[in-house]
Amino acid sequence: MIGTLGLALASAETGKLLFTLFVMYVAAKLAAEIFERLKQPAVAGEIIAGVIIGPGALALVAPTELTGALAEIGVIFLLFLVGLETKPKDIFGVGLRALLVAVLGVIVPFIFGYLIMLAWGGAQIEAIFVGAAMVATSVGITARVLGQMGLLSLETSRIILGAAVIDDILGLLILAVVSSMAKGNVNYTEIATTAAAAIGFTLLVLFVGARAVNRLRPKVENLKVGQSYLVFGLALCLGLALVATYIGVAAIIGAFLAGMALSESAEGTDMPHQAEAVTEFMLPFFLVNIGMQLKLGAFLNRSVIVLAITVTILAVISKLIGCGVAAWPLGKKKAMQIGMGMVPRGEVGIVVAQIGLSLRSVSDAAYGVVLFMAVATTLIAPPFLVRLFKGETRVDEEREFPITQIS
C-alpha cells in the first residue's frame, strides 16, 4: 500500500515537472515564431510568453527552484556559445574602452536609482539596493540578439561583451558592500579578497586558457569517448562556471571565459554547431523564467505604477548616458549601440532585488518596482538593438551580407 502510494506521488511529481517544461518550452517557441513573423526579436516574445503563462496572468506555471536551475543552465550555455565566437585578442583590443564603458555604466545608473528612491521617500538602504539593481547588465539578452544577427565580431559587440564582464565584477563588489551595510557591518578585507580573486580568475583564463587548451586538443581528440572534444568543452564550461560561483561572480562569466579559451582550438570542428543545438533547447527556459518573475498584483497602487515606469525610464537613460559617453569617441551611432546593449537588467537585477528583500532592506513595493524594471528593460532593448544595428555587415562562416531583412 505504501509502495503504491509512493509510486503514485512520484508519478504525480513527474507529471507536474513534464507539464511545466512542456508549457514553458512550447509557449516560448510559439511566441518566438509570432514575433519573428512580426519582424520583432524572438527574445522579446519568449519573455512575454513567460509573463502570460506565469503567476502574473494565466498562472499555468510558476517560478520554482527547478525553473531557476534550468534558466541558469540555459544562459550558461548561451554565454559559452558566445565565448566560442569571441577570441581573447578581440577583447584585448577593446579593453580600455570596455573598462571605461563599464565604469561609467555603473556609476551613472547607481546615482539615478539612489536619488529617485530617496525622492520617493524610501529609506537610504532601500535606495542603495535599488541603485545596485540599476547597475546590473544581463549580457545574455544582448548576446542572443547580436548572435542571431551574426554581429558578435563587430567592435561594438566586443566592447559590450568586455564591458559586461567588468560590469559583473563591479556589480559584485557593490552588492557585497550593500549587503554588508544591510547586516550592519562592512568587511573590507573580504570584499578586497573577492575582487582580487575575480580579477585574477578572469585574467588567468584570458592569458593562459587558450594556450593550454590548444596544447590539450590533440590528446583530447584521441580519447575513445564519442564527441570527445565537445565533451571536453562542456566540462570546461561547467567547471569554470562553478569556479566563478565560488569566487562570487556570475556563473555565466566562467562559461563565457571557457568559450573564449576554446574559440581558437574549436575552429574547424563541429563544437560551435553542437553547442548551438544544446543552447537552442535550454535557452527558452531562461527567457521564459524572466517573464514569469513579474507579478502584476504588486502594481495595484497608482504611485507604485508611476515609480516603476519612472525607474524603468531612468534605467534606460542612465545606461545610454553612462555607457554612451564612454563610447562617444567612436561616433554617435556606436555610442548608442553600446549604450542600448548594456540596458537589459534581466535576471541580474532580479537577483539583487531578491537579496534586498531577503535581508528586509527592500519593501514589497520597491521589490515589485525593481522586478518590473528588470523585465521591462529586458523587453525594451532587443527591438532597439535590431534597429540600431540595422545595415551592419553580418559575418558568418560562409559570406557577408547586410542585415536588411530585419526591421
How do residues 190-205 score in pLDDT, each as one tens digit? 778 878 888 888 888 8
- CA nearest 381: which of 406, 405, 345, 350? 345
Residue 57 is assigned to a structural domain of this protein: yes
Beta-carbon neighbour count of residue 39 at 10 Å?
Answer: 11
Report, as an integer, the average pLDDT of 174-190: 76
Q: What is the pLDDT of residue 4?
A: 66
With a cut of 50, say whether residue 340 has pLDDT above it.
yes
The CATH number linked to 26 is 1.20.1530.20
Higher pLDDT, 224 or 298: 224
Residue 89 is assigned to a structural domain of this protein: yes
Mean per-residue pLDDT of the chain = 84
What is this structure's pTM?
A: 0.78
Give alpha helix (H) positions in 184-224. Answer: 188-204, 210-221
Residue 405 is assigned to a structural domain of this protein: no
Residue 6 is assigned to a structural domain of this protein: no
- CA nearest 118: which of 108, 129, 107? 129
With a cut of 60, say whether residue 404 has pLDDT above it.
no
How do residues 252-307 score in pLDDT, each as one tens digit? 888 988 998 898 887 777 888 888 888 889 989 988 988 888 777 666 778 888 99
Residue 296 is assigned to a structural domain of this protein: yes
Which of 219-223, 226-230, 253-257 shows the highest mean pLDDT?
A: 253-257
Report, as an integer, the average pLDDT of 209-235: 85
Residue 36 is assigned to a structural domain of this protein: yes
CA–CA gap between residue 344 and residue 108 (Å, rounded)? 15
Report, as an integer, the average pLDDT of 82-98: 81
CA–CA gap between residue 258 and residue 266 (Å, rounded)? 12
Confidence of residue 6 (pLDDT cuts 50, 70, 90): low
The percent of residues in the chain predicted with pLDDT above 90, rounded, is 27
Cell numbers standing for residue 373:
524594471
* Helix orientation angle between 188-204 and 228-247, rounded to the nearest 10 degrees: 160
Structural domain count, the chain: 1
CA–CA gap between residue 236 and residue 384 (Å, rounded)? 34
CA–CA gap between residue 322 and residue 25 (Å, rounded)? 36
**Are 87 and 260 contacting, i.e. CB atoms less than 8 angstroms apart?**
yes
Q: What is the pLDDT of residue 399?
A: 36
CA 316 to chain centre: 16
How do residues 12-22 score in pLDDT, each as one tens digit? 788 888 999 99
With a cut of 90, say whether residue 152 has pLDDT above it.
no
Residue 56 is assigned to a structural domain of this protein: yes
Cell numbers standing for residue 81:
556559445
Confidence of residue 348 (pLDDT cuts 50, 70, 90): confident
Residue 362: CA count within 13 A, CB half-sphere: 29
User: Using CA of residue 143, residue 146, residue 147, residue 153, what is the dihedral sign?
Assistant: negative
Q: What is the pLDDT of residue 397?
A: 45
Q: Which domain holds residue 43?
A: 15-393
With a cut of 50, say whether residue 402 has pLDDT above it.
no
Residue 1 is assigned to a structural domain of this protein: no
**Are 353 and 298 contacting, i.e. CB atoms less than 8 angstroms apart?**
no
Q: What is the pLDDT of residue 123?
A: 84
